[in-house]
Chains A and B, each alone.
Chain A
Amino acid sequence: MSEKTWPLWEVFIRTRNGMAHRHVGSVHAVDAEMALQNARDVYTRRGEGLSVWVVPSTAITASDPDDKDMLFEPTATKIYRHPTFYEIPDEVGHM
């Protein structure tokens, strides 16, 4: 019998209405439908989710770790971009 590795899928779960889907991990599965079921079985056993997305891992384009100085370092000195100078009223909730 031939052993082939199943494709990898990235799993995103939304925990509550109004929140964004968050990456939680990955699963192996033969296709999208089974990936969704596997994600449900592996990552929502403790009531974590209201909605699940799966995305083929190969569909993700990632930044090169070697580029991190060029991409991310320049923001370190621009503290005026952080909204730390404002008072945020409690009623605003999640920002």
Chain B
Amino acid sequence: MTMSNVQLSRRDKLLLHCAPIRNERVDDRALRRALEHARDSEAFAIQQSFDKAAVALVQAIPIPKEITQWVPTETFIALTRRPWKKYAQNPALLATGIAVLVIAIVAVFQLVERLNRFPGEPTARRLLTTAASIHSVMLDPVKTDAGALGDFLFMKHRLVHYDVPPEFADLKTLGCRVFDDEEGRRVAQVWVIEKKMQFFMFPAERDPQTGKAKEFSGWRSIEQEHWAAVVKEQNGVCFMAALRGSSNDLAPYISKPKS
């Protein structure tokens, strides 16, 4: 049969040869598209009339009385299983699902890590290594309230805004030192009696173009090799409190802001 009056592709013709008589039997997208293309095809109309007549002939096949009487009342066809179960058992979908889950978990981890990043984090981590390796004997003994160190550092070392935040200002200090880090920036290190805590104060990271300090709000936590620290930026200087333990050990100090 040709379908010459309407231009149909080879694929359309191939599909149309299998076109069911009833539209509700069309369950294939390509076939549906081919049927649309063949809407005005005379040849296809002839094929459909031909098929309809043949179907009518088949439906006229008489059913023997024995069959109509015998057809059992019990159901032999199992109930349709839940589609989700069927899909879940498909190895391809299962593998895809696991892959998507892993990607989602990695993405969440990366997002959390990115949210927790802050300017000056590399310096803070470096100083945390210093905290883990230094001994108190290397510090100059300074026994006072941590809150008073700001003036001490300004007076003795001319370090402006190297202040201990109110959250840690009441703690008693043991010693202190000022040194230059690898990049020549002035770092103040303070040893505290409570929990053998250490404070570090160092210049905040600066924008290389404008030279302006990169600010960030609130406290940020870092953990590294059994050491934990909380960092805060104020007036272009970062303050870091570090101790051996976890972030939970520092949480009580920063949970209630003090004036």
A binds B: no
